Structure 1
Amino acid sequence: MRGPGAWWRAQSTPAKVETYTRWSFHSFALIEVSTVGLPAFAQVGAPLALVMLPPLTVHALLVSVTSSRALDWTCGRREQPVRLIAALGVLTALLGIAALAVSEHGPSGDDVDTTAGTFFVVVVPFGVGMMALGMRRRRVLALLSGFAAGTWVAAFLIGRPAATAAATALAVLLIGGVLCLTSTFSVWLLNAVLELDTARETRTRLAVAEERLRFGRDLHDVMGRNLAVIALKSELAVQLARRERPEAVEQMIEVQRIARESQREVREVVRGYREVDLGVELLGAQGVLTAAGVECTVTGSASELPSAVQSALGWVVREATTNVLRHGDAGHCRVSLGVEGTRVVLTVENDGVERDRVPSTPTSKGSGLAGLRERLSAVDGTLEAGPVDGDRFRVVAEVPLPATATSSSSASPPPSSSPSPAPRPVNEEVAP
């Protein structure tokens, strides 16, 4: 069975931030009950404690539900919980007034005053802070000021001296202000993380779109002119044939030649698209991962490897980099290329193991791990992929060198660590 640690590592960074934020505010409900309700049994006795505990528990549960719905609203999953916020505000105000009344006109004794004061100082600021979690920032200050002013008025009307009432209102303003600031900052941080994650996904989609546009431009450049010539010559041949001119045959022969030439050029475009340069893919992977915030180190050189080996391993680099970007939550990725005996070994390892697992069954030909195994099998290569050491994911591809290749093709450090050129997008969706 998977433990809590494995579950936590399986979450993305936005999910981790949201979980941490959510349970931080859920803990406020436990703090209310544990710091006010339970100690009241020892301080003021069971009868008064039993009177205090039910409304306090209801307030704590309402705090927890409001914080949960407010965070859902922040993440765009629900509408703003206006009714819950209003209900929490009313209950908080009533409990605060009741605590002040008990402190002034309730049973005498220091323990009662202390318990009532603690009840007020915990319930009112916590309620204000949780309401701020589900409100726009420009309204939080009005909320806090309103509760502080209301506290002063209520305390004064209940019978407290003006100075004591002002001190009580100041306590609400300071403690509630800290909690409101905490709520506002937590919402801002969560929104920032969600926006960064959205930008990361958008960057990946733009890379795919850019590659599709490039391929479309290449096809347009090749086919546009030839199709225009074919259309003109076909039209000319029709006119000549209607006039029974023998030149019509020559024009159709020319159309046939241009059509065959177009087929050849299209094959060259597709072949150039499918046959990748391993050196370019290594530099491109480093550039893309670095831009995505993943620390990437690349060792080895592909300059002396045969083109068939480079093409097969280049697809491995594309697929592995795509998995890191789209399925993982990696902070570091290591890519190494080397020659071991008569085999070229490519290793791609990252620390985004739990989410980096991709299904071995391809959704289409040429995609996924099964697609990579098909490409490698064409050059008698092998592929191994899976988690290692509990928290890392490793892809290892081995391809035998052709008999004509020599051991001089051993990998050497890359010539430069300067920023890579515009990388070729790495995404299985664009694999033909």
Structure 2
Amino acid sequence: MTSSRGRQSAAAEGPEAEGAASATGSQESPGPRRSQDVPAPQLARTITVVALLCYGGVTVLNLVGTRPGVTRLLVCVACVLAVFTVQMLVSAPRAQIWTPRRKTAALLAQTLLTYLPLLWFGLNWGSMEGPLGASFLVLLPPRYGWSLFGVVLIVTPLHALAAGAALDAASYYTVSALLSGLVIYGLARLTELVSELHATRDELARMAVGQERLRFARDLHDLLGYSLSAIVLKGTLAHRVGLTQPERAREETREIVDVARQALSDVRLVASSYRALSLTSETRSAMSVLRASGVRSEVDVACGPLPPEVDTFLATVVREGVTNMLRHSAVRHCTITATRDGETILLSVVNDGVRIDGREQKDRGSLLGAERRGNGLDNLHERCVAVGGRLKAVVRENGLFELEVRAPVRPAA
């Protein structure tokens, strides 16, 4: 017997395990592809640093071609390192959150490091105005950044012509400054966007985990709350009639086993992220539970075949309505109806036992406030919004409590 049960359990859990493994594989497999498509922030930052070093190296090579002295060459290298050190700080994503005073100080320092060496190195300083223009674009609002970038491009050929350069050389310095400025600005923006992308991806992952936890908690509440309530009621009834009505006790015991098996199956379905319920089956189960608790019930479900999403949602409403009814009211009569009006399904669960914590309640506001303290109606409201429906929980003029749901036959996308 033990071996047989083991084989049956393994067979029952096999498809679920395979489905879980498949789902896990499908979720994990896109990860490496995405990491290859989108560079990491460190890679984007490295590309920016390499580009800046190349631009600085070009400036140093321009000066080396003039056969300078050692002192002049060392001063040039120091100026280039100073300029691009400031440039790397400005190009970092964290520079966007600098205070206005710090941004102004960085731009002023880079302006001085860009134009003061022109007095000594002249045209050999190359097109170092480009990185300064990129810093204006990175740190300042677009209106001011592009204006100052244009001023830098105007000053570059004017200085070259004033230093005795030919028109073609002045044009070369201008185009070089334009190109270097746009490239450095683009790389800085690339680094910033990649960092934002990875931060957004992490936030989406955290949100997905939070949503999955909420789904798991909601499903467990909706499923196990009903099943456990049914088991308690039927167990109490079986114990009460065990001596006087043994046949009735055996029937209730069999139903307890069936409910427990269904609860176990529901928990497994929740764990595998898939759970489909049937409104017709749930109403039959609700009638059995209500009968066991001594409640007269009337059920009229005539809405025809429904899409799985809507069918599961309406079945969940019946479960939650019956669970709340048995827990929080002194119900003696209950009516469950489901009708179809065109493209809308109207489900109504009505009972006469308006009671909270064992006391009859006549104040409707007090009743609704007490009902909404739990998670049940909140869960149903979230599910109702998900399918594009409306939920209402009210006390009628005649004192009957009604849980009413209107849901579209075709759920919202």
TM-score strictly above 0.5: no
TM-score range, shorter chain: 0.3 to 0.5
Q: Which has the larger radius of gyration?
A: 2
Pick 1 or 2: higher relative contact order, CA cutoff 8 A, min separation 6.
1
TM-score, normalising length: structure 1: 0.40
TM-score, normalising length: structure 2: 0.42
